[in-house]
Structure 1
Amino acid sequence: MPAWLTALASAFDFATPLALLLLPLPLLAARLIPPEREGGSGALRVPPSLVGDTESAGAIAARGRRRLWLTGALWVALVVALAGPRLVLPATALPASGREIILALDLSGSMERKDFALDGETVSRLAAVKRVGAEFIRRRAGDRIGLVEFADQAFVAAAPSFDTASVARTLEEATIGLVGRSTGIGDGLGLALKRLAPAQVANAEGGGPPPSRDKVVVLLSDGANNAGQTAPKEVAELAKDLGVRVYTIALGPIDMADNPNNEQDVVDVETLRAMAEASGGRAFRVKSTDDLESVANAIDTLEGGRAQAPPLPLRRDLWPWPGALALLCAAALLATRRRL
Structure 2
Amino acid sequence: MPNWLTALVSAFDLASPYALLLLPLPLLAARLMPAERVGSSGALRVPASLVAAAARGDSVAARGRGRAVLVWTLWAALVVALAGPRLVLPATALPASGREIMLVMDLSGSMERRDFALDGQTVNRLAAVKRVGTDFIRRRAGDRIGLVIFANESYVAASPSFDTATVARALDEATIGLVGRSTGIGDGLGLALKRLTPPPSAETGEGGPPVTDKVVILLTDGANNAGQTTPRDVAGLAKDLGVRVHTIALGPRDLSNAEGEQDVVDTETLREIADLTGGRMFRVKTTDDLMAMADAIDEIEGGRAKAPPLPLRKDLWPWPAALGFLCAAGLLAARRTA
Report the TM-score range of the alignment, normalised by the length of the smaller protein: 0.7 to 0.9
Match of 2:206 in 1: none
In structure 2, relative to structure 1, the CA distance for the partners of 1:122 and 1:17 (3 Å cut) is farther
Q: Would you say the 8 A contact 2:19–2:82 is kept in 1?
A: yes
1-structure distance, mates of 2:95, 2:211 = 20
CA-CA distance at 1:9 after TM superposition = 3.7
In structure 2, relative to structure 1, the CA distance for the partners of 1:325 and 1:155 (3 Å cut) is same
2-structure distance, mates of 1:44, 1:141 = 75
Match of 1:324 in 2: 322
Q: What secondary structure, in the 3-state scheme, does the structure 1 residue paired with 2:226 have?
A: coil
CA-CA distance at 1:38 after TM superposition = 2.9
Match of 1:165, as an amino acid?
A
Q: 5 Å matches for 1:137-152?
A: 137-152=137-152
CA-CA distance at 1:120 after TM superposition = 3.0
Match of 1:250 in 2: 249
CA-CA distance at 1:30 after TM superposition = 2.2
Q: Would you say the 8 A contact 1:213–1:243 is kept in 2?
A: no
Q: 5 Å matches for 1:164-175?
A: 164-175=164-175
Which deviates more, 271-280 or 249-258? 249-258
1:21 aligns with 2:21: yes
Q: What secondary structure, in the 3-state scheme, does the structure 1 residue paired with 2:48 have?
A: coil
CA-CA distance at 1:45 after TM superposition = 6.3
In structure 2, relative to structure 1, the CA distance for the partners of 1:55 and 1:44 (3 Å cut) is closer
Cα deviation digits, residues 43-62 of structure 1 (max 9, x gap): 426389x847x995222222
Q: Would you say the 8 A contact 1:212–1:243 is kept in 2?
A: no
Match of 2:98 in 1: 98
Match of 2:309, as an amino acid?
P
Q: Would you say the 8 A contact 1:213–1:244 is kept in 2?
A: no
Q: 5 Å matches for 1:1-340?
A: 7-38=7-38, 40=42, 42-44=44-46, 46=48, 51=52, 56-199=56-199, 214-260=213-259, 262-339=260-337
1-structure distance, mates of 2:185, 2:146 = 17
CA-CA distance at 1:27 after TM superposition = 2.2
CA-CA distance at 1:225 after TM superposition = 0.7
TM-score by length of 2: 0.87
Aligned CA-pair RMSD: 2.8
CA-CA distance at 1:101 after TM superposition = 1.0
Match of 2:143, as an amino acid?
D
Which deviates more, 175-184 or 33-42? 33-42
Q: Would you say the 8 A contact 1:99–1:216 is kept in 2?
A: yes
In structure 2, relative to structure 1, the CA distance for the partners of 1:69 and 1:116 (3 Å cut) is farther
Which deviates more, 112-121 or 27-36? 112-121
1-structure distance, mates of 2:278, 2:65 = 81
Structure 1 unaligned residues grouped into runs of 5+: 204-210
1-structure distance, mates of 2:108, 2:138 = 24
Match of 1:30, as an amino acid?
A
2-structure distance, mates of 1:164, 1:86 = 32
Aligned residues: 329
Match of 2:207 in 1: none
Q: What secondary structure, in the 3-state scheme, does the structure 1 residue paired with 2:103 have?
A: strand
Match of 2:227, as an amino acid?
G
2-structure distance, mates of 1:119, 1:332 = 71
Which deviates more, 312-321 or 35-44? 35-44
In structure 2, relative to structure 1, the CA distance for the partners of 1:44 and 1:109 (3 Å cut) is same
1-structure distance, mates of 2:109, 2:317 = 57
TM-score by length of 1: 0.87
CA-CA distance at 1:166 after TM superposition = 2.2
In structure 2, relative to structure 1, the CA distance for the partners of 1:109 and 1:57 (3 Å cut) is farther
Q: What secondary structure, in the 3-state scheme, does the structure 2 residue paired with 1:337 have?
A: helix
